[in-house]
Structure 1
Amino acid sequence: MTIFARFTAITHDILDQLTGDGQLPAGLGRSGVAVEAPRDPAHGDLAINAAMVLAKPAGTNPRALAQLIADRLGALPDVAAVEIAGPGFINLRLVDAVWRDELAAIHRLGADYGRSDLGGGRRVNVEYVSANPTGPMHMGHCRGAVVGDALASLLEFSGHCVTREYYVNDAGGQVDVLARSAHLRYREALGEAIGEIPEGLYPGDYLKPVGAALAAEYGARYATAPEGEWLALFRTRAVAAMMEMIRADLALLGIHHDVFSSEAELQAAGKPEAAEAWLRARDLVYDGVLEAPKGETPEDWEPVELPLFRSTRFGDDQDRPIRKSTGQWTYFGADMAYHFQKAENVDAMIDIWGADHAGTVKRIKAAVAALTEDRVQFDVKLIQMVRLLRAGEPVKMSKRAGNFVTLADVVREVGRDVVRFSMLTRKADAQMDFDFAKVVEASKDNPVFYVQYAHARICSIRRRAAEAGGIAGAADRALLDAEDLALVKLAAQFPRIVEGAAAAREPHRIAFFLYDLAAAFHAYFNAGNDRPERRVLVAGNDALTAARLDLIDGVGQVIRNGLAVMGVAAAEEMQ
């Protein structure tokens, strides 16, 4: 149990005692009670808000309640001092032995330090990337891919049972366009001069190998055949080739999904019909006419009766059609059925979407609430776009011309770890810049470098100690003073950061924490430049050197654990 979890449990025990003694009324909600690190370390080691949260519902003065809690906390052997601050916050200062024991726990738990059972084994489906299978991955997909993968790892690390899923949109008009584009390249491979790619087809060279493979297998059989004879075949082959390419691109980022769900297979299995029948049986789908478009009504608009989902019952602005007038499923209708299928075996679902899909969030949340009768928790994380720069200048690209910046090209240029870490240096719903020059810059202003350098520096110090003959004997952590233990106190926040990030579904918090820890470590190391007694390798004092090596090893372990959650390797030396 971490320090924060232990003192949270202690605080609740004290509140139970006060309730039992009649000093607090029974039945008070305690969900807001928290034990955290104070914003200013000068205020102590832990801050408890229990009196502030409970005083009003208890009908008492917050400082008076804080005093009742503080009296009991002050009697604990691990507490050196208690102070009531402001209107009723309780600040604790712990004895040094607590932090020395926490350093021992970091070493004892190793790669599991920070792991928790917060999730309690709850089954969570995280769907991310899900790019249309019409070409290679480009940088527009990259951020969502990294955020989704890091979130899945974070949830696993915090005790959830996670399924990583990719939804293959292989049933819409875009894959018919893909098939026609592949057919054009097929004819080209047979020797036909195709000229400029016609408007509306995919122009990229990535389809040339698909066309060549089809030409090698079928010869000229489909060169002049009617579209109806080859469209389905070419669609299947082209989608399969694109998915193979997409998997390879994602593998460059270290991303591997557990499940690839096909929209075409979903529809062939009758899942949309099953979802519609389920909703009709509960009067949640009805046949009705959509309202006329707001503003000036188009001349060709006609009222058409369609099956409508009652999404207004769940907070949406209007009821939504699940089929078109042709009888085909709308995108929403197919997506609704897909989530119905996903929800069958999970407790929670998280979708990672681009910010351009913000307008559909409310309706799909309404559908999931209806289809699962609120049994399954559902969340959508919107990912803002990434602006690509090179030395501060925007990188021009044209998707129409087929020369967009591919994910593979970026990973090969700057490296997987740089790409992954960079994508987590901002909140997902905030726009970000990715500057090819800055992300590889060796400076404090580059979080990727700064955190990696901290770990590499720790490894370097260890190598220097070994080259000097090593340090014999076990580390005596009692030799660590207040400046040493300040670093332990920061590292010890990692388990709390993990739980908070998992609960908020915000993996970027791990990157922020690692940057702060790296900055503290660099400051700790640099203190020895002017004060020889503050060096890690203290000349003539093997015992203190051993203790400080033990300390920085613990910091290195926490950095490795955080980077592992992010899917980033911990560098042992910088190139």
Structure 2
Amino acid sequence: MNLFTDIRALVLDTLDAMTRDGALPEGLDTAAVTVEPPRDPAHGDMATNAAMVLAKPAKSKPRDIAEDLAARLGEDDRVATAEVAGPGFINIRLAPQLWQGIVRAALRDADYGRSQMGAGEKVNVEYVSANPTGPMHVGHARGAVFGDALARLLDYAGHDVTKEYYVNDGGAQVDVLARSSFERYREACGLTPEIGEGLYPGDYLVPVGEALKARWGESRLDAPESEWLEEAREVATAEMMEMIRADLAALGVTMDVFFSEKSLYGTGRIESAIESLRDKGLIYRGTLEPPKGKTPEDWEPREQTLFRSTAHGDDVDRPIMKSDGAWTYFAPDIAYHYDKIERGFTQLIDVFGADHGGYVKRMKAAVSALSEGRVPLDVKLIQLVKLWKNGEPFKMSKRAGNFVTLRDLVDQVGADAVRFHMLTRKNDAPLDFDFDKVLEQSRENPVFYVQYANARINSVLRKAEGMGIAVDDAALAEADLSVLDHEAELQLIRALAEWPRLVEIAARGHEPHRVAFYLYDLASQFHALYNRGNDETSLRFLQEDATATQRGKISLARAVGVVIGQGLGILGVTPVEEMR
């Protein structure tokens, strides 16, 4: 049940009636007609812009259309009042029973708020995709949480979602991993590792060295690199990916697909993607202008094989092949996205770190060219996380081996706290993660405040059950909800009515942080009503002398719990039933 959709349908039906009556001309486009909460809640429950957007094509004054439309809307039982405001906006107040019906809908439908907006569209969400060179750090944690919550949100909104990890196992960094692991192999054989500049120094490679010793014994200690590099790559990559999978699992993240970059090489898949672009006239030999900041004196122009990415919105054309005939790093990425398109995805989402900002336009150009504009690519950049502890910045450095890992974070504050807090800012805004505040039990800690609301609701249900009141959803849905007539209660119900609309807005904008914001606001309104009952007994959820009344009150609390549970499910956070 989406009350905003229902009232918009009422507005559109009324406009159709006005057309049939000759009050409006035929053929008006009503796509821009909206029904939304008014900016000032004092003006009503909902507002529509119908008269404003139709006035010009109808060749009428907005206020004339608005007055006729408002009068007709007021005849519907669901509408208490419909009033014209300003030049032609219509403010609508709904009948109380309509709001009370929201509570019943939430109790009768465990998936209240779930949408079919996506209509089963196949969406690929690629996220994390950290190089398999070590455990994941805090920055990866934010990308993992965002990508996973976005995938859950899109699924909740009716899309067919695939969660994917692109394993960067085809580049030079994996050779560095292999060489670093070989030094740990030497260490496992009793020698001193020589971890020179450019190698990965972290102790996390010690088990890889031991695995290599178990495989080789001491037979490779004096062997040339050409004899052990490839095998060391395979062993080290497999070990690192096992570690990464375990780290993701600790955060509650599972992937549907792990796609290997290496699988693109030597299989003709890169060549096939580039040939597709060549067939469209987008591959050519040419010379690029000097990069920004370079002068002709310190820039050596050379002819290269280029992708004409400027034909699809990029700033400059991009090299796809090096002068020695090897592919640039961009070529396998083109092939990878071509594979996604070939797999039938009609919408692609890439979640990248903030340092990939310069990569966005070229990747969008490639997808546009490969799909001939049919498949949109949305690249979401994840800004940095700043760690704080005891009031001091907490530094990390991946190459130095002293970074804070994702697992460190989860072990210290728990997966639920990490996931919720990572979504308290929009993805493209920097985020401060303060270990002390994340564990603080106060209103200033969003995850605690939302979980506390859920725990309070479960406490109400347990007490009611102890009083002999049936608290299953089916029984509560049959309660007399007309008792929910106080403005404070109606305000909380209005927040519940916003949930289905919020889901679609968040899914359409690829903005899972909206769910976290909504849950905090909903919890705040619940706590306000709960606390108000300390002074106004008529607002208490449990009223021993008024069984019929309190069943309706309990129903409201449980409906809030249903929505909190749904929202936390999208965020990947487990609702708690009791605060300890």
TM-score (norm 1): 0.97
Give the aligned partner of residue 228 of structure 1.
226
Contact 1:391–1:438 under 8 Å retained in 2: no
Give the aligned partner of residue 431 of structure 2.
432
Letter in 2 for 1:500: I
Moved more, 322-331 or 521-530: 322-331
Give the aligned partner of residue 319 of structure 1.
317
Give the aligned partner of residue 201 of structure 1.
199
| SS of residue in 2 equivalent to 1:454 | helix
Give the aligned partner of residue 395 of structure 1.
394
Q: Distance in 2 between matches of 1:200 and 1:408?
A: 25
Residue 342 of structure 1: which of 340, 343, 347 is its match?
A: 340
Tell me how far 1:296 sits from its aligned partner: 4.2
Tell me how far 1:55 sits from its aligned partner: 2.1
Q: Distance in 2 between matches of 1:291 and 1:275?
A: 26
5 Å matches for 1:169-184? 169-184=168-183
| SS of residue in 1 equivalent to 2:398 | coil
5 Å matches for 1:152-191? 152-191=151-190
5 Å matches for 1:26-425? 26-110=26-110, 112-194=111-193, 197-297=195-295, 301-344=299-342, 345-425=344-424
Give the aligned partner of residue 449 of structure 1.
448
Moved more, 522-531 or 48-57: 48-57
Moved more, 477-486 or 321-330: 477-486
Q: Distance in 2 between matches of 1:91 and 1:446?
A: 36
Tell me how far 1:498 sits from its aligned partner: 0.2
Tell me how far 1:471 sits from its aligned partner: 6.0
Q: Deviations over 1:132-156 (max 9, x none)?
A: 1100011011111111100000000
Contact 1:471–1:542 under 8 Å retained in 2: no
Q: Distance in 2 between matches of 1:419 and 1:130?
A: 19
Residue 563 of structure 2: which of 558, 564, 571 is its match?
A: 558
Tell me how far 1:372 sits from its aligned partner: 0.2
Moved more, 277-286 or 19-28: 19-28
> Residues 486 and 361 from structure 1, CA distance in 2 versus in 1: closer, same or farther, beyond 3 angstroms?
same
Letter in 2 for 1:439: V
> Residues 477 and 401 from structure 1, CA distance in 2 versus in 1: closer, same or farther, beyond 3 angstroms?
same
Tell me how far 1:37 sits from its aligned partner: 1.9
Q: Distance in 2 between matches of 1:493 and 1:149?
A: 23
Contact 1:451–1:514 under 8 Å retained in 2: yes
Letter in 1 for 2:11: T
Moved more, 297-306 or 562-571: 297-306
| SS of residue in 1 equivalent to 2:169 | coil
| SS of residue in 2 equivalent to 1:83 | strand
Give the aligned partner of residue 502 of structure 1.
507
> Residues 497 and 215 from structure 1, CA distance in 2 versus in 1: closer, same or farther, beyond 3 angstroms?
same
Q: Deviations over 1:408-446 (max 9, x none)?
A: 011011011100000111111111100000011111111
Contact 1:128–1:148 under 8 Å retained in 2: yes
Tell me how far 1:400 sits from its aligned partner: 2.8
Tell me how far 1:294 sits from its aligned partner: 3.7
Letter in 2 for 1:6: D
Give the aligned partner of residue 485 of structure 2.
481
* Unmatched segments (≥5 aa) in structure 1: none
Letter in 2 for 1:160: H
Tell me how far 1:25 sits from its aligned partner: 4.0
> Residues 12 and 269 from structure 1, CA distance in 2 versus in 1: closer, same or farther, beyond 3 angstroms?
farther
Contact 2:137–2:398 under 8 Å retained in 1: no
| SS of residue in 1 equivalent to 2:285 | strand
Q: Distance in 1 between matches of 2:377 and 2:44?
A: 38
Contact 1:252–1:408 under 8 Å retained in 2: yes
Give the aligned partner of residue 540 of structure 1.
545
Q: Deviations over 1:368-394 (max 9, x none)?
A: 100000111211111111111113311
Letter in 1 for 2:498: Q
Q: Distance in 2 between matches of 1:189 and 1:225?
A: 16
Moved more, 460-469 or 521-530: 460-469
Give the aligned partner of residue 521 of structure 2.
516
Tell me how far 1:105 sits from its aligned partner: 0.8
Give the aligned partner of residue 529 of structure 1.
534
Percent of residue pairs identical = 58
Contact 2:123–2:160 under 8 Å retained in 1: yes
| SS of residue in 1 equivalent to 2:321 | coil
Q: Distance in 1 between matches of 2:354 and 2:26?
A: 45
Q: Distance in 2 between matches of 1:200 and 1:544?
A: 71
Q: Distance in 1 between matches of 2:313 and 2:509?
A: 23
Q: Distance in 1 between matches of 2:254 and 2:27?
A: 47
Give the aligned partner of residue 24 of structure 1.
24
Tell me how far 1:469 sits from its aligned partner: 4.0
Tell me how far 1:50 sits from its aligned partner: 1.6
Q: Structure 1: which 4+ aligned runs deviate by more than 4 Å?
A: 471-474
Letter in 2 for 1:209: P
Q: Distance in 2 between matches of 1:271 and 1:2?
A: 46
| SS of residue in 1 equivalent to 2:123 | strand
| SS of residue in 1 equivalent to 2:109 | helix
> Residues 476 and 282 from structure 1, CA distance in 2 versus in 1: closer, same or farther, beyond 3 angstroms?
same
Q: Distance in 2 between matches of 1:310 and 1:397?
A: 39
1:9 equivalent in alignment to 2:9: yes
Q: Deviations over 1:218-244 (max 9, x none)?
A: 112221111111111111111111111
Moved more, 273-282 or 56-65: 56-65
Q: Distance in 2 between matches of 1:180 and 1:61?
A: 76
Letter in 2 for 1:213: A
| SS of residue in 2 equivalent to 1:389 | strand
Q: Deviations over 1:314-336 (max 9, x none)?
A: 22111111111122221222111
Q: Distance in 2 between matches of 1:391 and 1:191?
A: 40
Contact 2:290–2:296 under 8 Å retained in 1: no
Q: Deviations over 1:453-480 (max 9, x none)?
A: 0000111112222334446985211222
Query: What RMSD, in angstroms, separates the aligned Cα atoms of the two structures?
Result: 1.6
Letter in 2 for 1:520: Q
Contact 2:102–2:496 under 8 Å retained in 1: no
Contact 2:304–2:321 under 8 Å retained in 1: yes
> Residues 332 and 24 from structure 1, CA distance in 2 versus in 1: closer, same or farther, beyond 3 angstroms?
farther
Q: Distance in 2 between matches of 1:396 and 1:144?
A: 19
Tell me how far 1:278 sits from its aligned partner: 1.0
Contact 2:127–2:147 under 8 Å retained in 1: yes
* Unmatched segments (≥5 aa) in structure 2: none
Tell me how far 1:193 sits from its aligned partner: 1.4
Tell me how far 1:295 sits from its aligned partner: 4.0
Q: Deviations over 1:534-562 (max 9, x none)?
A: 21111311111111111100111011111
> Residues 295 and 252 from structure 1, CA distance in 2 versus in 1: closer, same or farther, beyond 3 angstroms?
closer
Q: Distance in 1 between matches of 2:467 and 2:160?
A: 46
Letter in 2 for 1:492: A
Contact 2:25–2:58 under 8 Å retained in 1: yes
Q: Distance in 2 between matches of 1:269 and 1:296?
A: 37
Give the number of equivalent residue pairs: 573
Tell me how far 1:62 sits from its aligned partner: 1.7
Q: Deviations over 1:5-51 (max 9, x none)?
A: 11122222223333344443444443322111223322221111222
Letter in 1 for 2:502: I
